Amino acid sequence: MSITIKDAAGIAGMREACRLASEVLDQITPHIVPGITTLDIDRLSAEAMARQGTRSATVGYQPPGYPPYPGHVCTSVNQVVCHGIPNDKPLKKGDIVNVDVTVITADGWYGDNSRMFEIGEVSIAAHRLCALTFDAMWLGIDQVRPGARLGDIGHAIQKFVEGHGLSVVREFCGHGIGQKFHEDPQVLHYGRPGTGEELVPGMTFTIEPMVNVGRRDIKEMNDGWTIVTKDRSLSAQWEHTVLVTPSGYEVLTLSAGSPATPDFVKGMAQATA
Domain extent at residue 151: 8-269
2 in a domain, yes or no?
A: no
3 in a domain, yes or no?
A: no
80 in a domain, yes or no?
A: yes
Identify the CA nearest to 114 among candidates 31, 206, 228: 206
| Residue 228: strand pairing partners | 80, 219
265 in a domain, yes or no?
A: yes
For the entire predicted model, the pTM comes to 0.95
- How many separate domains does the chain show? 1
Quote the pLDDT of residue 271. 41
Quote the pLDDT of residue 269. 44
262 in a domain, yes or no?
A: yes
pLDDT tens for the 273 residues of the chain, in order: 689 999 999 999 999 999 999 999 999 999 999 999 999 999 999 999 999 999 999 999 999 999 999 999 999 999 999 999 999 999 999 999 999 999 999 999 999 999 999 999 999 999 999 999 999 999 999 999 999 999 999 999 999 999 999 999 999 999 999 999 999 999 999 999 999 999 999 999 999 999 999 999 999 999 999 999 999 999 999 999 999 999 999 999 999 999 999 998 865 544 433
- Give the integer Cα–Cα distance in Å for 20 and 103: 8
183 in a domain, yes or no?
A: yes
Query: CA end-to-end span of the chain, whole Å?
Result: 24
Quote the pLDDT of residue 205. 98
Quote the pLDDT of residue 108. 98
Task: State the chain's maximal CA–CA distance in angstroms.
Answer: 48
- Give the integer Cα–Cα distance in Å for 178 and 195: 24
Can you give the CATH number for the domain in which 130 is found? 3.90.230.10
233 in a domain, yes or no?
A: yes
- Give the integer Cα–Cα distance in Å for 109 and 105: 5
15 in a domain, yes or no?
A: yes
